[in-house]
């Protein structure tokens, strides 16, 4: 498990359009050198669907693009990342949209586990970008936010610094109009708008700032960014950058 602190596994059962049920199970490991293009990670997924190698490859690539390729722990990439999908065909059922949806959901759950267990991590962040020109630009923006050292350190310090978030979107390469962008912070039981259509809502002396600070103290934090330009949307997964990350990697030798 190298620097992983716990094992990561997830399984789902779903009903296909034919009315028959199939199952998918997966295990994964990885907590450092994790960035888009996957990272230093291993993932093995099994299913009882009946499909050819090419059909499995197509479904897996789609799921990986929405999950493991949207995880950033430290921004470093690796040459030895692997995700394998194996099918034994015992269900006798063929791949359909329901299978693809279940596979993507499973991969996103495993990806979230990796982000939560990032080296030295104390907090988990899920960044949802909507209103982008297209999906590709939404992914660019979301990955830019979870990759930003300034956003990650603000998360560690419980600082609701909307400027760092918007700046990361700004240099991502995605189209952005500062006059229509909105940013919200959300925990398990609270949500607050810190920027609303380009207008800053959370500033000194406001209840919005107090609520934002409370949210940033939580372990699980969602950052929702609405670019207001289209229908593109994407979600990325990440964690904070703590003192322990530096310590782990300064002391770790191979």
Angle ∠(160,198,115) on CA atoms, nearest 5? 40
Indicate which residue of 2, 5, 40, 135 is catalytic.
40
Residue 62 CA: distances (Å) to CA of 35, 137, 160, 201, 227:
17, 16, 33, 37, 24
Residue 40 annotated among the catalytic residues of the structure: yes
Burial of 54 (0-12, 13-18, 19+ CB in 10 A): exposed
Owner of token pair 């994964």: 28
Is the CB of residue 137 less than 8 Å from the CB of residue 225? no
CA distance 43 to 107: 9
Catalytic residues: 40
């Amino acid at each position: 498990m190298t620097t992983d602190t716990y094992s990561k596994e997830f399984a789902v059962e779903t009903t296909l359009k034919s009315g028959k049920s199939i199952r998918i199970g997966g295990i994964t490991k990885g907590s450092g050198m994790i960035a888009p293009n996957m990272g230093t990670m291993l993932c093995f997924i099994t299913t009882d669907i009946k499909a050819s190698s090419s059909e499995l490859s197509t479904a897996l690539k789609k799921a990986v693009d929405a999950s493991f390729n949207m995880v950033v722990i430290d921004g470093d990439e690796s040459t030895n990342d692997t995700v394998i999908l194996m099918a034994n065909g015992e269900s006798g059922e063929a791949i359909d949209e329901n299978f693809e949806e279940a596979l993507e959901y499973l991969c996103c759950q495993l990806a979230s586990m990796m982000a939560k267990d990032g080296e030295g991590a104390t907090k988990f962040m899920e960044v949802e970008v909507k209103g982008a020109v297209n999906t590709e630009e939404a992914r660019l923006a979301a990955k830019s936010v979870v990759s930003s050292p300034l956003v990650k350190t603000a998360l560690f310090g419980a600082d609701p610094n909307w400027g760092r978030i918007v700046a990361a979107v700004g240099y991502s390469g995605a189209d952005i109009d500062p006059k229509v962008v909105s940013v919200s912070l959300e925990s398990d039981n609270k949500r607050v708008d810190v920027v609303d259509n380009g207008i800053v809502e959370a500033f000194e002396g406001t209840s919005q700032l107090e609520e934002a600070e409370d949210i940033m103290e939580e372990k699980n934090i969602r950052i929702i960014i609405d670019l207001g330009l289209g229908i593109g949307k994407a979600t990325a997964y990440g964690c904070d950058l703590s003192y322990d990350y530096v310590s782990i990697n300064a002391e770790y030798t191979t």
